[in-house]
Amino acid sequence: MKKIVFGLAILASIFTSCTSSDDETTANTVTGEITGPITANKTYPLGTYTLKGIVKIESGVTLTFDAGSTITCDKTTGDNALVVKNGGKLIINGTASQPVVFTEKSQVPGSWGGIIMYGDAPIKAIGGVTTSTSEDGNAMSYGGTNAAHNGGSLNYVRVEYAGAKLADGTKENNAFTFYSVGSGTTLDHLVAYKGADDGYEFFGGTVSMTNAISYGNFDDAFDWQDGWQGQNNSNWYGYQVTKGNFGMEIECSNNNNAFFPKVTNVTLKRAAGCTPEVAGAIEIDAFQFKKEGNGDFSNVVISGYGNYTEGATTYEGAAVKIQDATTNTNQVNGSKIKLTNVKISATSHDISGATGSIVVTFPAGQFSTNAAATGATLTTGNWSTVGGTSLLQ
């Protein structure tokens, strides 16, 4: 009996309680280091972990995180990211009261690569090709014919301070990056917090995302290309503070597609004093469509995309900006861009072209305003709170 009691005492000393980055104190009972590659199914129970390196979930393998865990990187150790290869699965079982938080020790935007997922759902990249190579530093192939690809289930997940280049990557990564991810994947109640690039970026694919917050990311709140065509997206909330470019940057890699994504219940806000990420880059619009970008958006609230002065020049923001003549001809005039029930405030223009030669006139029924639009409707709680401050402002 004494041996049993002594053993329990040792276990109690090992499994100590910790406090997550949420306001709620949870009994994190496990600590450990996460390294890759992940070659066998594994579940990380409630705990506080360190993610070290570019951790890749291999094809055929499922990695699971239980609710309430905090996973921290340290940029001083080198490149860090969590990568789901095509055929692998990431299951994150967060809850509203106990989200799963991925963060970085220094709390400096752009300190790690975030969550990157690959699939084999359809894409159309530049030149209309159906496969391409990622620009995230992993240089992995993406694209295929499996529209129902399933990369797992991400529920109540927050990614903080991402946006780092990996290896010799040509651009920064995002908080969440989805390469040809399919409709079998669940993306629900996600938060992209204070990253150095986009909050979310889709490179083609058919996946949809619901209940998503993009807060304080230096580039765009939401971004996509390569013919992304998710159809069941709702409740997107973007709030740009300090630095920020477009609320949504929308392009289709110069492909005049017959399809387009659909998003209902959207809020895009820009705080007073928010400046573009880079001086001279006049990216201050709520929606920017370029390179044949398109989409169907309804119940939209836009606020704060007004004038921006740089030196002696004042630039005027717009709720909707059409960047090039081809997009205006094929997508606007072709009724492939639709924004209805849109409420606009503190914004210089409702609709504009990037130059005076681009005259934008939406066909009947393709653009409408409504002062009663509500935008995104999201619940408050630990999942949407950082440092005691609600992100839903």
Written in H, E and C, the secondary structure of 109-147 is CCCECCEEEECCCCCCCHHHCCCEECCCCCCCEECCCCC
Grade residue 281 by pLDDT with cuts at 50, 70 and 90. low
Q: How many CB atoms lie within 10 A of CB 94?
A: 24
pLDDT in tens, 337-381: 999 999 999 999 999 999 999 999 999 999 999 999 999 999 999
> Which pLDDT score is estimated for 282?
80
Residue 72 structure tokens:
């921290």
pTM of the entire predicted model: 0.92
- Give the gyration radius of the chain's Cα atoms: 21
Cα–Cα nearest to 333, from 291, 361, 299, 367: 361
Task: Write the burial class of residue 232 (CB in 10 Å: 0-12 exposed, 13-18 middle, 19+ buried).
Answer: middle
* Dist. CA 323–CA 328, nearest whole Å: 8
Grade residue 247 by pLDDT with cuts at 50, 70 and 90. very high
Q: How far is CA 145 from CA 97, 117, 124, 243, in A?
A: 38, 17, 11, 38
> Which pLDDT score is estimated for 151?
98
Average pLDDT of the segment spanning 187-196: 98
pLDDT in tens, 91-114: 999 999 999 999 999 999 999 999
Q: 268 phi and psi, to 5 degrees?
A: -125, 120
Cα–Cα nearest to 120, from 83, 88, 77: 88
> Which pLDDT score is estimated for 7?
39
pLDDT in tens, 302-316: 999 999 898 888 989
Grade residue 170 by pLDDT with cuts at 50, 70 and 90. confident
Domains of the chain, residue spans: 30-390
Average pLDDT of the segment spanning 211-238: 98
pLDDT in tens, 56-68: 999 999 999 999 9
* Dist. CA 203–CA 69, nearest whole Å: 28
Residue 24: pLDDT over 50: no
> What value does the mean pLDDT of the chain take?
93
> Which pLDDT score is estimated for 261?
98
* Dist. CA 100–CA 159, nearest whole Å: 9
DSSP string computed for 143-212: --S-TT---EEEEEEEEESB----TT-SS---SEEEES--TTSEEEEEEEES-SS-SEEEES-----EEE
Grade residue 171 by pLDDT with cuts at 50, 70 and 90. confident
